[in-house]
Each structure stands twice: as structure tokens, then as C-alpha cells.
Structure 1
Amino acid sequence: MRPVFRCLILGLLAVSGCTTASNYEPSLFSGEQQVIGTTVLTGALPEPTTAADGNPQIVANDVLTVNVYGAAQLDRTVRVDANGEIALPLVGSIEAAGASQRELENTIALAYARDYLQSPQVSVFVKESVGQQVTVDGEVNRAGIYPVTARSTLLQVIAQAGNFSSLANNRKVLVFRPSGGLRYVAVFDVVALRNGRSPDPHIFGGDMVVVPSSAAKLVRHELKDLLGAAASVGSLAALGL
């Protein structure tokens, strides 16, 4: 198993708890939700988290361009820090993470209107979006981080990564999705997707797509080592590994 694949699985162990996923995209895992350590096995991935107005959220490390009309000296290109904040002239720190572009525009405008400008007009442009990227790892020809849109699907993302390597298990592709402080995992048969027998699931920013090796016994052994006693035979079998 590739080192990055090992790191991905280890990263899933950093969260705790459980929640209920909404009916979203069906996967090969069709039983009730199971928990392996702190990873939730599900047949239906939860819908991605959005801002209060239903638009994509700004997240830490996004790079934003902020323009204040009529006050060019206040224009800035800033990166959202680890605390989810940006620093702007005069008004200082503004919380950005979790807001949509429009929500952040309103927040900044209110901050400047409070003490400095009359009816300010503010625009926010997401120059670089970490939240609109997906990680593809495992047995693909070009593992890496790729941009996605609201219409991206699993087949499209795999194509971006150069398609499967000769060692790939294309019937057991794992998709990890963070939601509510948890990480959910669903398993998809890409052969069935390509043949039109199953719907091609949407992939969203923040997802991780992992293509295991066709040497399933090796992958299963390493998963069991990483997940310890929580990795029951039944739970691992639910992943098809």
C-alpha cells in the first residue's frame, strides 16, 4: 500500500462520534451504517456542508481577493488563516471560514460601515479554493489534488487522475467525505458506473478518492492493523476488502 494511502486512513482516525447520513449516492455498502474506529461506513454519503445561504463555504487556506469600491487602498488579496479569519485594513480580523462569498461581502461591508465608510460596496472573489479540490490517491496513474466543480462526478475525477493503473481494483473504489466533524466512506464499482448499471456519484470539494490495489488481502491486512480491534471481519467485509 502506498504511504499516502496509509496517511489518508490514519487521518480518518482523528475524529470521533457518529451522525446520520442523508440519502445521497448509493454505494456497494448497502447495510446499516457501521463504525470502524471513528470512520462511518455508509451506503449513502451525506450531502456536503454549505453556508447558511446554500452556497459553498469558504474554508481555511482559501485565497480571497477583497475589493472595496471607491476605496482602492483597502483592496487586498488575503489567505484565510488556520483560525478561519482574514485580516483587512482598519477593521482587522474578520471571520471568513464557513461563510459564502456573498455572506462574507455583507460582513465586510458592515464592518467598514460601522466606523469608516458610508454604504460601502464590497466584492469577494475566491482566487484559490482549497474547498473545491479533491484528493485522488492509490492505484491511479497521476495521484494528486484536482479541482472540482458542482457537477464533477467520480468517473470524471478518475479521468483527471489519468485513470487506473494496471494494479487497480476498479470495483472497490473508496470515497471519503468529511461531514459534521466525521469522515464517511462509501465504496463504488466503477465498472458498473461505466456500464451505466449504477449512477455516477457526484464528487465534491474536500472528498478523498482512494483506489485500492487488486491485491485486496494486502489492503485488508493494513486496514485491520490501522483500525485495531474495531476492524471486525464483518466491518472489513462491508468494504469488500
Structure 2
Amino acid sequence: MERLPAPTRPDLVAADRASFIGPLDTIGVDVFNVPDLTRELRVDASGRISMPLIGEMDVRGKTANEVAAMIEAQLDRYVRNPQVTVNVRNSVSQVVTVDGSVNEPGLYPVTNQTTLVRAVASAKGLSEFGRSEDVVILRTVNNRRIAGLYNLDAIRRGTYEDPPIFANDLVIVGDSKERRMFQDFLAIAPLLSAPLIVALQ
């Protein structure tokens, strides 16, 4: 019996995907050799941070490297050759919403490894009435709302690729009305005086 080959090192590392800072995220700012300016900051609800010497700065929708470059440019008047490193410590803005017929609907963190199957698994999988062939991803691209319809069973069989999930995506799992109706019939079956026959697809 042939064994599955072991993955190579590149197989174990997901492709890089830009991660953007958003409201209520927490970032760490490290200014080399200036401990008074090194601190942890929480982005406010409008996407701004406030630092000594610099004041307020809009960091919404920027990467950590872009924010570091902005801080360096502002500090250049006060610090000789400033070297700034910015790290995202905690992100609450990079999330996907998983809704519909899943066991635990909610908001889940998005990383560069998040795919549709993994997002649904984060929500503890499909509920009793969930339809694996009726899963929709809603996404906004260039201010246009677009939707994609996916079949989880086909993805699991390898028929097509497991699509990547990005921040602010909305994943909705459809509901099987036929199965739900049958369950409702079963609930009232003890009250019926004659057998009940229901045709299911």
C-alpha cells in the first residue's frame, strides 16, 4: 500500500497575505534606543493612534510596515535616524463572519491560512439542517458586492480548490427546508391518527 508523501518545507508555509490594521486592534511600537517611545497602543474606533511628539495618526487600512515608515517620517524631526518596528499584537478587525446553518455562528479571526472549509470548521461545522452544497461567500471588491456559491463536499473530494477567505468576508451556510420540515413532522407525528408519508429529495 502506497503511503502519502510527507510535505516539503514550502508546503508547510502558507503564502504571504497582506494583513491590515483596523479599529480596536492592538499594536506594539518599538523605537530602537528610545525606550520612552516604545509602547503598546490600541487603535481607536476611528482607526487612529496617538503617540508623544507625533500626536494622532490614521493607521486604518495600513500594514505594520507602512505604519512603521509613517512613524519614522514623523520622528525624523526629533530623533536622529529613527528605526521603528511595528507588530500587530492582537487583531479584532481581521475577521470573517460565519452565519447560517452552522453550529456556532459568529466572528472568527482571519489569517493567511484561512479557507472556506477552515472557516466553517471554526464555527464547529454544519448544523443538523445545513446544506453543504449551498455555501455562499459574500465579499466587497472595489465597492461592489459579489457572491460565490460553493459546495463543501466537492471541495473535500478535491473537485476544486478550497477558496481563501479574507477579512470582512461573510460566509453563509444554507438551510435544508425539506429536512427541517420532516423534523417538524416527526415532532407532531405522535399526535396523528394515521400514518404520514413524506417524499424527500
The TM-score bracket by the shorter chain reads: 0.7 to 0.9
Number of the residue aligned with 2:94: 132
2:172 to 200, 210, 213: 210
Change (3 A) 1:79 1:184: farther
Deviations, residues 73-102 of structure 1 (Å, cap 9, x unaligned): 212222223332211112101121122111
Q: Choose between structure 1 and 2: higher helix proportion.
A: 1
Change (3 A) 1:183 1:127: farther
Letter in 1 for 2:141: S
* TM-score (normalised: structure 1): 0.62
Number of the residue aligned with 2:147: 185
1:63 aligns with 2:37: no
Tell me if the contact between 2:131 and 2:173 (Cα under 8 Å) persists in the aligned partners: yes
Output the CA distance in 2 between the equivalents of 1:64 and 1:179: 26
Output the CA distance in 1 between the equivalents of 2:100 and 2:162: 20
Gaps of 5+ in 1: 1-53, 219-241
CA RMSD of aligned residues (A): 2.0
Tell me if the contact between 1:76 and 1:88 (Cα under 8 Å) persists in the aligned partners: no
Output the CA distance in 2 between the equivalents of 1:63 and 1:130: 8
Number of the residue aligned with 2:112: 150
5 Å-filtered alignment, 1:70-109, equals: 70-109=33-72
SS of residue in 1 equivalent to 2:128: coil
Q: Choose between structure 1 and 2: higher strand proportion.
A: 2
SS of residue in 1 equivalent to 2:71: helix
Of 59-68 and 103-112, deviating more is 59-68
Displacement after TM superposition at 1:186 (Å): 1.3
Deviations, residues 197-240 of structure 1 (Å, cap 9, x unaligned): 22211112221111121128x9xxxxxxxxxxxxxxxxxxxxxx
Q: Considering only CA atoms, is the larger Rg found in Structure 1 or Structure 2?
A: 2
Tell me if the contact between 2:20 and 2:94 (Cα under 8 Å) persists in the aligned partners: no
Change (3 A) 1:181 1:59: farther
Number of the residue aligned with 2:199: none
1:159 aligns with 2:121: yes
Number of the residue aligned with 1:10: none
Q: Percent identity?
A: 36
SS of residue in 2 equivalent to 1:65: strand
Letter in 1 for 2:69: N
